[in-house]
Amino acid sequence: MTSTNHPAAPAARTVRRGLAPVPFLAPGMIYLILFMALPVGLLAFYTFFKRGRFGGIVFEFTLDNWVKLFEPLYVGVILQSIVLAGIVTLLALLIGYPMAYAIAGLSPKWRTVALVAVVLPFWTNFLIRTYAWILLLNNAGWVNQWLQGLGITDAPISMLYTPQAIVVGLLYMYLPLMVLPLYASLQQLDPSLREAATNLGATPWRAFRTVTLPLSIPGALTGCIFVFVPAMSNFVIPELIGGGKTIMVGNLVRDQFFEARDWPFGATLALLLTILLVIVIVVQTAVSRRLTEGPRRG
């Protein structure tokens, strides 16, 4: 009996097997191409041209936009944005970790109530929450009224339109983004690991330091990314709560597009911000993978 198998059949089956996931991946790939790859590619394209006299773009190749980034003014704004976003992220971690740890230790009923309380601010418009902080922090606001009522100060303290007010506003807005991944990480920990440490003679603090804390670091890193990325690029809070006195990268990008009408340099700043954030995310992913795979290899 003659075999009917063609020599190319295995190769064809391999190709068909390789193309099988395409229908499932296509929507996601199309979304990424349309809303991420194309806009970022357009930004990168604009960075190599000159601004028009009345805005727009003159398609004459230049590297001036990238050279301009290294001027002290713009380097200072970028470093200031990194410092402010870093302070907000650190404070969110210091406040959010105990909150997430406490929520993870609650009974299921109260755990749900606590989680709803954490996400409740997200149900209110971002601008309304920002204006609420303006009412709280101004000289005649509740905070100054409380301080004077308690006899802590005799005169109102100028809190609004300062870098500290920006930190408070960003911290309030993004604290839930730190608490939720930390809670998810702590909730997934196997209680038997802590029980084993305790049975072997570890004190509660040592069991936390040697078991709970290392295993929750991936969740903490995820929370840090969730807070740092939007804090770095936010321009509403520095404008409203900071009074426009403290310039961050987000404000600078907006001003280049809408006030200076220098689209190529605005695109350069936006692309630089995107590159910085991608680097941060790649580092976070590498550290999390190393922490996760390290114990398995051991």
Q: Which residues form the domain of 128? A: 67-188+221-292
Which SS3 state, helix, strand or coil, does residue 27 take? helix
Establish if 245 belongs to a structural domain: yes
Cα 178 vs. chain centroid, distance in angstroms? Answer: 9
Mean pLDDT of 230-240: 90
Query: Which carries the bigger pLDDT value, residue 33 or residue 21?
Result: 33
Mean pLDDT of 254-276: 90
Which SS3 state, helix, strand or coil, does residue 51 take? strand
What six digits make up the tokens of 70? 């290294």
Round to whole Å and give the CA distance between 232 and 102: 28
Establish if 40 belongs to a structural domain: no
- pLDDT the model gives residue 290: 81
Establish if 232 belongs to a structural domain: yes
Residue carrying structure tokens 């001036």: 64
How many residues would you count in the chain? 298
Long-range contacts of 294-298 (CB under 8 A, 24+ apart): none
Q: Of 187-191, 205-209, 265-269, give the range with the top mean pLDDT.
A: 265-269
Establish if 264 belongs to a structural domain: yes
Establish if 151 belongs to a structural domain: yes
Mean pLDDT of 248-255: 90
Establish if 14 belongs to a structural domain: no
Mean pLDDT of 266-283: 90
**Residue 278 belongs to what H/E stretch?**
helix 263-297
Percent of the chain, pLDDT > 70? Answer: 94
Mean pLDDT of 25-51: 90
Q: What is the pLDDT of residues 159-193, one digit of tens each?
A: 889 999 999 999 999 999 999 999 999 998 888 88
Residue 2: pLDDT over 50: no
- pLDDT the model gives residue 1: 45
Instruction: Assign 297 a pLDDT band (cuts: 50, 70, 90).
Output: low
Question: Is-contact 271 40, C-beta < 8 A?
Answer: yes
Round to whole Å and give the CA distance between 192 and 205: 16
* The total number of structural domains that make up the chain: 1
Residue 216: pLDDT over 70: yes
Question: Is-contact 20 12, C-beta < 8 A?
Answer: no
Residue 106: pLDDT over 80: yes
Mean pLDDT of 200-211: 86
- Amino acid type, 105: G
Closest to 133 in 3D by CA, of 238, 225, 230? 238
Closest to 211 in 3D by CA, of 101, 115, 287? 101
- pLDDT the model gives residue 294: 61
Distance between the two ends of the chain, CA-based, in angstroms? 56
Query: Which carries the bigger pLDDT value, residue 258 or residue 15?
Result: 258
Residues in contact with 93: Cβ distance below 8 Å, sequence separation at least 6, in sequence order: 178, 220, 223, 224, 227
Query: Which carries the bigger pLDDT value, residue 217 or residue 292?
Result: 217
Establish if 61 belongs to a structural domain: no
Residue carrying structure tokens 């680097």: 279
Residue 244: pLDDT over 90: no
Establish if 199 belongs to a structural domain: no
- pLDDT the model gives residue 142: 87
Residue 3: pLDDT over 70: no
Residue carrying structure tokens 């404070």: 91
- pLDDT the model gives residue 96: 95
Query: What CATH code is carried by the domain that includes residue 241?
Result: 1.10.3720.10
pTM of the full predicted structure? 0.84
Residues in contact with 222: Cβ distance below 8 Å, sequence separation at least 6, in sequence order: 181, 185, 284, 288
Percent of the chain, pLDDT > 90? Answer: 39
Question: Is-contact 160 138, C-beta < 8 A?
Answer: yes
Question: Is-contact 228 178, C-beta < 8 A?
Answer: no
